[in-house]
A and B are shown apart, each in its own frame.
Chain A
Amino acid sequence: MSEIIAMVLAGGQGTRLGVLTENVVKPAVPFGGKYRIIDFTLSNCINSSIYTVGVLTQYRPRVLSTHLGVGRDWDMDRKNGGLFVLSPYAAAAEGEWYKGTAHAIAQNIDFIDQFSPQYVLILSGDHVYSMDYNEMLDFHISKNADATISCIRVPISEAHRFGTVITDNTSKVKEFEEKPKNPRSQLASMGIYIFNWKFLRPLLIEDSQNEKSSHDFGKDIMPKLVAGDNNFYAYEFEGYWRDVGTIESFWEANIDLTRSMPALNLYDPNWRFYTHSAEMPPAFFGNDAEVVNSLTSEGCIVHGRVESTVLFQGVTVKKGTILKNSVIMTNVLIGENCIIEDSIIGENSIIGDNSKIGIGDRIKNEKYPNIYSDGISVVGEGVTVDEGSTIGKNSSIGNFLNTKEMRIKTVPSGKNLRIDGVV
């Protein structure tokens, strides 16, 4: 028996990350030089002494499953408990995909039952944050709560993007509004809940039998908790938490790490973040390297100028190249005399000599205005950019494209290169 077990929802597609989540699920998107987004949630679990963790996968789980393995990198390869990857399954009557977050947990009631936990912690694998779940659990216990939702205070102007919670002066939840047009509270839901398992179990069964329900925690379970006479409390978390759901917020959260004293401290020996990383030698800085305000991971070879940039493992930057405000993922090779600004470049891409990326006028993306519109250009993974190419601002290059073979030298600002050409 475990006192508490964690269930991590890691099936989200993350459509607003464009090409970055075309082939990988959002929790598996690389972040911060050597991590993947889910590492933060898993490290928080292990740092909070929660050793039994179920990870619910669905959308494109290959990279995520490879990354997690048996959980050894998080010390979760255990005889009792440990890390479990829970995929949707076919049962005798019918096989089903997870229809929603609540449905995903409901499908795994048997899994949770085998540990007969007192509390179940519901987490999301999409967020970058550092949080001690024990403090929330202490709050939950001290309030004698059936359910507790974790909230963070956001500016009222931002609150419309979140589920907001209205509480009384004892922190008891009075109302819950999902993405309100006129928010009345600054307390935004972080998508983190603690339930008494005895309380949640019948609720999930009831919800999964309700055909009208969309089986979502935020949309269906929360309103039900508020409506009934339940001990439902809101825990206010004070600390670093980001939902890196858009290109801009993803880019910004990465670039934040290059500033001095960032809110997310990756160097805290008492709160380490663990990951599954490749074995590479220390970063090499050549005679002509000029690196300021940057993260330069192991295996990097730097000869150019790098400013306010996150270089992931194994990145090569050749002579005369200038990188600024960019996120360069694992094993990218950047040729000589390139200029790259305000860009995100996916894993294993090759940028030919004398190329310019993220240079041009700031024109809104025509095809995908909701994804690429904050001045950031995105090159997908495994891309080959031909020598002397120019890629503008708010542009994107699809995964695994080869501009040399496609004979395309220019992708203007606000345009996207896909397999069917520039659109």
Chain B
Amino acid sequence: MKILGLILAGEKGQNLGKLTNKRASAAVPIAGKYRAIDFTLSNMVRAGIKKVGVLTQYNPRSLMDHLGSGREWDLDRKNGGLYILQPYVSEASQLWYRGTADALHQNITVLRRGDEDYVLIGSGDHVYNIDFTPVFKYHLSTSADITILTKSSEGYDPSFYGTVKTDENERIIDFKEKEKENTGDKINLGVYFMNKKLMMDLLYSTVPNGKYDLVRDIIIPNIENLRIMSYKFSGYWRNVKKSLIEYKRTNMDMLNPEVLNELFSPQRKIYTKLKDLAPPKITSTGSVVNSIVADGCIVSGKVYNSVIFRNVNVKAGAIVDNSVVMEGSTIEEGSKIVNCILDKNVTIRTERSYIGYEEPLFFEKWQVV
């Protein structure tokens, strides 16, 4: 079964505020050394997908830098491999992507060209670890036209997610996109598996008529005509771009050994750009409790309940509690941060104290405070 993977990674992620001022939400750093897109990309590669297109639009520099030639995901190949699909200027048009369906339609050549039979569409913002092969089998055995990944809506706010209602055979009979009312008891995880030809037909019949959204204009209107099946995923799943609080919570989830084991199981690895930094070092004055610490860090202060990214320097007498500290940041002597998110290369100066109360305090890239 040959499958083309497509990852939607063009969004800014409005709700993340300054965190996504200079990067797309798919490039948001997460869990100490990863970027959000690593999860979907690794899931696809592990399922045997050899050709993956990443659709980007919003400030892609950081994302491009991260993906490179796709080598870390074994996608630097003579045949197939990683394709970066950006909006472009042509004879006929010069348009940004006007929606998810439009983004796919503008890159219809990629769909038309390859010899793949199926297409798997995912999002670059989702943190989860899944084996896709049972999904493919399920799609065939239920003779589905489209298979959508869903999850029990328990614990998720329906105004943030699409919700679906299924009949007793798991066929989707109702679908509501981000409304207050929950139509069923499942949320849409934004992963679609279908025949490539069908995808192309659907795109050709909608996008030229000014309908640009994959869910609103393609999936929902076809609920009756097409057999759209729901595949229920029961593992850990988070969308990082919903809010800053949700983003921080996702990071903090890594302090739960069960989540850590599920996401980073040695049998189902998540790959990311390697940096070959030295192992983290805890010096004689340092201590680390209930936290994760990535490579290249030197910890001489005290760290509690935090996620520490690569190359962070926590100096003697400094206290880091309940915070997310991104790559290259320095917490200088005697300072204290509680409930903060530090973007990359932030410096907290000596003996300063920053405490986030209801919402985490956010410090922008390169800030010195």
Question: How far is A266 from B283 in the complex, measured between Cα atoms in Å?
Answer: 14
Q: Can you list, as one digit per residue, whether each of A272-307 has a CB less than 8 Å from chain B (1) or not (0)?
A: 111101011111111101111111111001000000
Q: Can you list, as one digit per residue, whether each of A347-366 has a CB less than 8 Å from chain B (1) or not (0)?
A: 00000000000000000000
Q: Which residue of B lies closest to A72 (CB)?
A: B71
Question: Once the chains bind, are A296 and B282 in contact (CB under 8 Å)?
Answer: yes
- Across-interface contacts of A313 in B (CB, < 8 A): 279
- Across-interface contacts of B303 in A (CB, < 8 A): 285
Asked if B274 is at the interface (CB within 8 A of a chain A CB), the reply is yes
Q: Can you list, as one digit per residue, whether each of B270-312 has a CB less than 8 Å from chain A (1) or not (0)?
A: 1110101111111110111111111110100001000111000
- Across-interface contacts of B198 in A (CB, < 8 A): none
Question: Once the chains bind, are A277 and B274 in contact (CB under 8 Å)?
Answer: yes
- Across-interface contacts of A284 in B (CB, < 8 A): 254-255, 257, 260, 291-292
Question: How far is A417 from B283 in the complex, measured between Cα atoms in Å?
Answer: 35
Given A267-B298, A281-B33, A285-B291: A260 and B279 interface contact (C-beta under 8 Å)? no
Asked if B331 is at the interface (CB within 8 A of a chain A CB), the reply is no
Q: Can you list, as one digit per residue, whether each of A260-275 has a CB less than 8 Å from chain B (1) or not (0)?
A: 1000001100001111
- Across-interface contacts of B270 in A (CB, < 8 A): 279, 281
Given A287-B289, A291-B287: A282 and B279 interface contact (C-beta under 8 Å)? no
Question: Once the chains bind, are A272 and B276 in contact (CB under 8 Å)?
Answer: yes
Question: Once the chains bind, are A273 and B295 in contact (CB under 8 Å)?
Answer: no
Question: Once the chains bind, are B296 and A286 in contact (CB under 8 Å)?
Answer: no
- The one of A73, A272, A290, A295 in contact with B279, judged by C-beta atoms closer than 8 angstroms, is A295
Question: Once the chains bind, are A267 and B278 in contact (CB under 8 Å)?
Answer: yes
- Across-interface contacts of B290 in A (CB, < 8 A): 285-287, 289
Given A293-B282, A298-B294: A281 and B276 interface contact (C-beta under 8 Å)? no
Question: Once the chains bind, are B280 and A283 in contact (CB under 8 Å)?
Answer: yes
Question: How far is A156 from B50 in the complex, measured between Cα atoms in Å?
Answer: 61
Asked if A258 is at the interface (CB within 8 A of a chain B CB), the reply is yes
Asked if A32 is at the interface (CB within 8 A of a chain B CB), the reply is yes
Question: Once the chains bind, are A298 and B276 in contact (CB under 8 Å)?
Answer: no
Query: Which B105-142 residues have C-beta < 8 A from chain A?
Result: none
Given A289-B288, A294-B282, A295-B281: A282 and B276 interface contact (C-beta under 8 Å)? no
- Across-interface contacts of A301 in B (CB, < 8 A): 257
- Across-interface contacts of B214 in A (CB, < 8 A): none
Asked if A412 is at the interface (CB within 8 A of a chain B CB), the reply is no
Q: Can you list, as one digit per residue, whether each of A297-336 has a CB less than 8 Å from chain B (1) or not (0)?
A: 1100100000000111110000000000000000000000
Question: How far is A394 from B343 in the complex, measured between Cα atoms in Å?
Answer: 49
- Across-interface contacts of B33 in A (CB, < 8 A): 281-282, 298
User: Which of A34, A272, A291: most chain B Cβ within 10 A?
Assistant: A291
Question: How far is A182 from B257 in the complex, measured between Cα atoms in Å?
Answer: 59
Question: How far is A281 from B260 in the complex, measured between Cα atoms in Å?
Answer: 8
Output the least CB separation between B40 and chain A (Å).
Answer: 16
Asked if A27 is at the interface (CB within 8 A of a chain B CB), the reply is no
Output the least CB separation between B317 and chain A (Å).
Answer: 15
- Across-interface contacts of A292 in B (CB, < 8 A): 282-284, 286-287
Give the interface size bracket for A toward B. Answer: 35 or more
Q: Which residue of B lies closest to A268 (CB)?
A: B278
Given A33-B278, A258-B281: A289 and B289 interface contact (C-beta under 8 Å)? yes
Asked if B32 is at the interface (CB within 8 A of a chain A CB), the reply is yes
- The one of B266, B282, B294 in contact with A282, judged by C-beta atoms closer than 8 angstroms, is B294
Q: Which residue of A lies closest to B286 (CB)?
A: A292
Q: Which residue of B lies closest to A258 (CB)?
A: B281
Output the least CB separation between B37 and chain A (Å).
Answer: 15
Question: How far is A290 from B288 in the complex, measured between Cα atoms in Å?
Answer: 7
Q: Can you list, as one digit per residue, whether each of A380-400 has a CB less than 8 Å from chain B (1) or not (0)?
A: 000000000000000000000
Asked if B264 is at the interface (CB within 8 A of a chain A CB), the reply is yes
- Across-interface contacts of B255 in A (CB, < 8 A): 284
Asked if B269 is at the interface (CB within 8 A of a chain A CB), the reply is yes
Question: Once the chains bind, are A260 and B280 in contact (CB under 8 Å)?
Answer: no
- The one of A32, A267, A282 in contact with B292, judged by C-beta atoms closer than 8 angstroms, is A282
Question: Once the chains bind, are B295 and A282 in contact (CB under 8 Å)?
Answer: yes
Q: Which residue of B lies closest to A288 (CB)?
A: B289
Question: How far is A332 from B326 in the complex, measured between Cα atoms in Å?
Answer: 29
Given A33-B278, A282-B33, A284-B260: A260 and B293 interface contact (C-beta under 8 Å)? no
Question: How far is A34 from B295 in the complex, measured between Cα atoms in Å?
Answer: 10
Q: Which residue of A lies closest to B307 (CB)?
A: A282
Asked if B31 is at the interface (CB within 8 A of a chain A CB), the reply is yes
Output the least CB separation between A76 and chain B (Å).
Answer: 14
Given A73-B276, A260-B284, A281-B31: A297 and B292 interface contact (C-beta under 8 Å)? no
Given A275-B276, A301-B257: A281 and B282 interface contact (C-beta under 8 Å)? no
Given A281-B33, A284-B260, A286-B290: A296 and B279 interface contact (C-beta under 8 Å)? yes
Output the least CB separation between A88 and chain B (Å).
Answer: 31
Question: Once the chains bind, are A280 and B264 in contact (CB under 8 Å)?
Answer: yes
- Across-interface contacts of A280 in B (CB, < 8 A): 264, 266
Question: How far is A275 from B298 in the complex, measured between Cα atoms in Å?
Answer: 20
Asked if B263 is at the interface (CB within 8 A of a chain A CB), the reply is yes
- Across-interface contacts of A272 in B (CB, < 8 A): 276-277
Question: How far is A266 from B277 in the complex, measured between Cα atoms in Å?
Answer: 8
Question: How far is A151 from B274 in the complex, measured between Cα atoms in Å?
Answer: 35
Question: Once the chains bind, are A282 and B284 in contact (CB under 8 Å)?
Answer: no
- The one of A273, A285, A314 in contact with B288, judged by C-beta atoms closer than 8 angstroms, is A285
- The one of B284, B286, B289, B292 in contact with A283, judged by C-beta atoms closer than 8 angstroms, is B292
Question: How far is A294 from B299 in the complex, measured between Cα atoms in Å?
Answer: 10
Contacts A34-B279, A257-B281, A283-B293 known; list 17 others, CB within 8 Å. Answer: A32-B278, A260-B283, A260-B284, A267-B277, A273-B278, A280-B266, A282-B292, A282-B308, A283-B280, A285-B292, A290-B287, A292-B286, A294-B282, A295-B279, A296-B280, A298-B33, A311-B279
4 tightest CB-CB pairs across the interface, nearest first? A266-B278, A33-B279, A282-B32, A297-B279
Query: Can you name 7 A-B residue pairings with CB atoms under 8 Å?
Result: A260-B284, A281-B260, A282-B32, A284-B254, A292-B282, A296-B281, A311-B279
B interface residues, Cβ below 8 angstroms from A: 31-33, 254-255, 257, 260, 263-264, 266, 269-272, 274, 276-284, 286-296, 298, 303, 307-309
